[in-house]
Amino acid sequence: MQMSTFPCILLLCAISLVTCHQRLVAESRTNVELFIKEISKVMSNSDPSGRNHSTKVTIAPHPPLSNVDVWRLLLHLKSEEIKTLTLTVDETQPSTQTEFIFEGNLVDSDSIFLQAMRDSIVVATAFLSMEIRDLQSNVAWVGSNETSHISSLRIVASEKVGVVSAGEQNCSTHESPCYIISPPDPKPDLIKRCISFYFGAQRTVNLCDERVTNFLEISPSPSLYLQDDGNLKVSFTYSHNATEIEVVVYDPEDHTKVFSNSSYRCLVSVSRIFQEGEAVSCTHNITVPEGQTRMVVLIVRTDEKGYVYDSSRLLFEGNPSKPCRTGVIVGAVVGSLLGVGIIATLIIIIVLRKRMKKKKRTDTKRGMTTSYSKAPTSE
Ligand SMILES: *[C@@H]1O[C@H](CO)[C@@H](O)[C@H](O)[C@H]1NC(C)=O
Ligand SMILES: *[C@@H]1O[C@H](CO)[C@@H](O)[C@H](O)[C@H]1NC(C)=O
Ligand SMILES: *[C@@H]1O[C@H](CO)[C@@H](O)[C@H](O)[C@H]1NC(C)=O
Ligand SMILES: *[C@@H]1O[C@H](CO)[C@@H](O)[C@H](O)[C@H]1NC(C)=O
Ligand SMILES: *[C@@H]1O[C@H](CO)[C@@H](O)[C@H](O)[C@H]1NC(C)=O
Ligand SMILES: *[C@@H]1O[C@H](CO)[C@@H](O)[C@H](O)[C@H]1NC(C)=O
């Protein structure tokens, strides 16, 4: 119907501007039908983790709507409940706006209504019956904040979304989680994960997620220890917020050289209930070539919903020609924690594995070393 009235309005405009205005007002007095093109989860200023977020709705071009003061998004939940998000606008001119950001979470729902209101009367509506579910594709900046050249991206490409593109690089479901180590500038600014719903040949509606979790540093900083068996032991303090841990070990000179087992899993040795703030350690399988003097260790903790909670980027430095030399970590932090008073010093001992096997050293202070471990220094 609007399709035929719009040219008519234009024609009237040509005749008289006054008539045109009246026609526009009359037009929007009737309930205009709107068409949703895209619904997306976007970051909100209130929560840098992205768990709480905003909902962006994009609609198809529509006739100008005048004096709309409120936009409403009604989400029909599975439980038959209705969640309402509102957006107050201040429009003096007839508006053709097509993008709206509602503060509030896009919760799982089965249908949605978008309504434009004037003085509490609905003047335009879009309705969509479609299964809105979380795409389970989380993206986060890890190791450092987004603005830093040493920050990396962790991407989960769920089965629902398939391949996720981040700038020049792609992440597919079977590779997930993917780590894009220190992406070059310009950094990918929009990493959009979408699925499409088809409503006949002409209409497609995208359901998207654009959120990227901000960086949060693990505090206190974890400590690292290279074990006799070549596995890396990571010690940290337990947090209910961060239940899973991943470790990525790579060459700082060549980011394509990743020494980690491709699952990046760091296995917590003892399975029991940990207390908040308690010291915990996990082991991570790495294959480091002989002669590798420096390694970056990226430690990433995720929560039970798969969001990255916090992360740290630590640098190992050692000298393989002097096998038992003690390494140094850049950015060492000494922390006392949550009243528990654990002092974690970042001391790393890099020892040639061969030598270690020969010496069969037993070190009682592995992991949370509070001082240099006594590594053999003689030949
Ligand atoms: C999300 O919002 C709810 C309600 O406003 C609040 O209780 C909760 O703490 C928030 N969560 C985060 C992670 O900010
Ligand atoms: C990001 O990190 C850099 C250094 O790593 C720091 O200078 C800057 O202030 C940080 N920015 C934010 C927004 O935290
Ligand atoms: C990434 O995927 C897009 C399409 O999804 C493709 O056009 C592009 O060539 C891929 N890039 C690489 C580096 O594989
Ligand atoms: C993390 O855990 C602390 C202590 O249990 C809690 O106060 C805080 O709200 C949690 N943060 C998030 C984002 O869940
Ligand atoms: C990764 O480690 C797991 C267990 O530690 C092992 O089963 C798997 O084969 C390893 N994968 C690679 C590629 O080494
Ligand atoms: C580490 O991985 C290697 C192969 O990648 C495997 O031979 C070794 O058993 C693994 N060690 C542990 C403790 O998982």
In a domain, 10, yes or no: no
What ligand has the least distance to the C-alpha of 338? 4
In a domain, 378, yes or no: no
CA distance 342 to 340: 6
CA distance 96 to 59: 10
In a domain, 254, yes or no: yes
- Per-residue pLDDT, 318: 60
C-alpha neighbours within 13 Å on the C-beta side of residue 152: 27
Q: Rounded mean pLDDT of the chain?
A: 79
pLDDT band at 30 (very low <50, low <70, confident <90, very high): low
- Does 240 contact ligand 4 (Cβ within 6 A)? yes
- Per-residue pLDDT, 219: 93
Question: Residue 92 pLDDT more than 70?
Answer: yes
Q: How far is the CA of 286 from the centre of ligand 5 (A)?
A: 10
Match 């040639």 to its residue by tokens. 352
- Co-location of 116 and 158 in the same domain: no
Among 245, 241, 248, smallest CA distance to 309 is for: 241
Q: Which of 13-27, 43-57, 191-205 has the weakest average pLDDT?
A: 13-27
- Co-location of 76 and 168 in the same domain: no
Q: Bin 252: left if φ > 0, else alpha if -120 < ψ < 50, else beta.
A: alpha
- Per-residue pLDDT, 292: 86
- Co-location of 191 and 150 in the same domain: yes
- Does 227 contact ligand 6 (Cβ within 6 A)? no
Q: Tokens in use for 154?
A: 């962790």
In a domain, 7, yes or no: no
How much is the pTM? 0.78
Q: Tokens in use for 156?
A: 């989960």
Q: Are 227 and 208 in contact, with CB atoms under 8 Å apart?
A: no
In a domain, 361, yes or no: no
Q: Are 222 and 238 in contact, with CB atoms under 8 Å apart?
A: no
- Co-location of 46 and 85 in the same domain: yes
In a domain, 204, yes or no: no
Q: Going by DSSP bridges, is the β-strand pair 82-88/70-76 parallel, antiparallel, or unpaired?
A: antiparallel
Q: Which domain holds residue 82?
A: 32-132
| Ligand 2 atom nearest residue 146's Cα | 1
pLDDT of 298-340, one tens digit each? 999 999 999 999 999 999 876 433 333 233 333 322 222 222 2
Question: Residue 133 pLDDT more than 70?
Answer: yes
